[in-house]
Amino acid sequence: MKVSHLSFFSLLRHAHRSHLWTHPTRNTSLYVVLGVRKMKFEIVKLRDSVSDTLHSLSVSVPSDLSFPSHCCSLLETLSPVTFDEVGRILSRSPAKSSSMDIIPTSLVLCCKPVFCEIIAYLANLSFSEGRFPVLFKQATVTPLIKGHSLNKSVPSNYRPISNLNFISKVLERLFLSCFQSHILKYPNFKSHQSAYRPYCSTETYSTAYT
């Protein structure tokens, strides 16, 4: 069934050209009632058409495109974090500090042998107990204007930027490393999925198929 996706916009153009706008004092309430009823009828008709189309598509989906049955084991425990894992993450981290940092990031990076052991212990303690340190859940939020041409007095024109503690971001990357190694082992994780896959993005597949 073919869906008439222009019907709703045609209705809006019709309403805009009607006497509802050109003669606001002439039976305004009657125009409003008729316009609302007509719009409601068109929306219901469009919704039913889309529902029928989606239903017919779901029936005709080839079997080779269906999702495989779930065959993944539960991620009940995480492998222990090692000194070297923390060191690799710190080596790739920029020396940027946040107001939430108790210790400057530059100092952490300069004293990696000391802090690698501390962070590894903290990560293993957090993962074994299944709890994230409450102190690391806090952030400073800075509003950033979405565009220089936007009105700065409108709150919706701002994007909230959260600045987290540096060590909390290291713990997040350590967990992501364990999580990725778990899900990549199973066929439920599609080979063409670029999200949550290391060294892969939408640009990777764009260049592969062009």
19-62, pLDDT tens digit by residue?
A: 444 444 444 445 445 566 777 778 788 877 877 776 666 555 44
Residues 160-185: tens digit of each pLDDT: 988 899 999 999 999 988 888 887 77
Highest mean pLDDT among 99-108, 113-122, 148-157, 181-190: 113-122
| Range of lowest pLDDT (52-56, 68-72, 95-99, 118-122) | 68-72
| Model confidence at 209: pLDDT above 70 | no
Residues 132-141: tens digit of each pLDDT: 888 888 889 8
Query: What local confidence, expressed as pLDDT, does residue 74 receive?
Result: 75
Query: What local confidence, expressed as pLDDT, does residue 106 receive?
Result: 93
Amino acid at 16: H
| Model confidence at 70: pLDDT above 70 | no
User: How far is Cα 69 from Cα 46, in angstroms, rounded to an integer?
Assistant: 34
pTM: 0.58
Query: What local confidence, expressed as pLDDT, does residue 196 receive?
Result: 66
* 3-state per-residue secondary structure call for the chain: CCCCCCHHHHHHHHHHHCHHHHCCCCCHHHHHHHHHHHHHHHHHHHHHHHHHHHHHHHHCCCHHHCCCCCCCCCCCCCCCCCHHHHHHHHHCCCCCCCCCCCCCHHHHHHCHHHHHHHHHHHHHHHHHHCCCCHHHHCEEEEEEECCCCCCCCCHHHEEEEEEECHHHHHHHHHHHHHHHHHHCCCCCCCCCCCCCCCCCCHHHHHHHCC
Mean pLDDT of 175-203: 75
Q: At what angle do helices 166-183 and 83-91 cross, to 10 degrees?
A: 110
- Mean pLDDT value across the chain: 76
Name the residue with higher pLDDT: 106 or 24: 106
Mean pLDDT of 88-103: 90
Query: What local confidence, expressed as pLDDT, does residue 28 receive?
Result: 44
Domain residue limits, the chain: 7-65, 83-208
Other Cβ atoms less than 10 A from the Cβ of 127: the count is: 19
Angle at the Cα of 177 from the Cα atoms of 172 and 180, rounded to 5 degrees: 120
Tell me which residue of 177, 174, 89, 109 sits closest to 136, measured CA to CA.
174
| Model confidence at 109: pLDDT above 70 | yes
Query: What local confidence, expressed as pLDDT, does residue 67 receive?
Result: 52
User: Do 35 and 20 contact (CB within 8 A), yes or no?
Assistant: yes
User: Do 15 and 34 contact (CB within 8 A), yes or no?
Assistant: no
pLDDT band at 78; cut points 50, 70, 90: confident
